[in-house]
Amino acid sequence: MNCKCNKLYIGLLIGLLLPIITSYTIFYFRFGDTLSIKEFVNGLLRLQGFTKLLSLSVIPNLLFFLMAIKLERLLAARGIVTATLLYAIVVVVFKFIL
């Protein structure tokens, strides 16, 4: 189906921004009144919880991927999968290399 939103870069943008929004939402509702974002990230890095948060924050990408498939926006779905794989590479680097 031909649609303006059926572009690879649209899916990539959604796939890259959605985990950031999800992570910030988790921070805001759980620690927003007690910690700053800098203290939160430093604590996650110190306790090796950053990769866990990053892994959980890509779950909403699955919903948008399934929605893109259902609406036959296959290029956008490919962009979402590409962004999710980029996040997976970042998680592997943080977990095993750094």
Q: What is the pLDDT of residue 19?
A: 96
Q: What is the pLDDT of residue 32?
A: 82
Is 21 inside a domain boundary? Answer: yes
Look up the domain containing 82 and give its range: 8-97
Q: What is the pLDDT of residue 44?
A: 87
The Cα–Cα gap between 95 and 93 comes to 6
Which segments within 1-98 are labelled E, that is strand? none
Is 2 inside a domain boundary? Answer: no
Q: Please state whether the predicted TM-score (pTM) of the whole model is above 0.85.
A: yes
**Total domains, the chain:** 1
Is 20 inside a domain boundary? Answer: yes
Percent of the chain with pLDDT over 90: 67
Is 1 inside a domain boundary? Answer: no
Query: Residue for token digits 């980029």?
Result: 86
Is 3 inside a domain boundary? Answer: no
pLDDT tens column, 30-68: 988 888 889 998 988 888 888 999 999 999 999 999 999
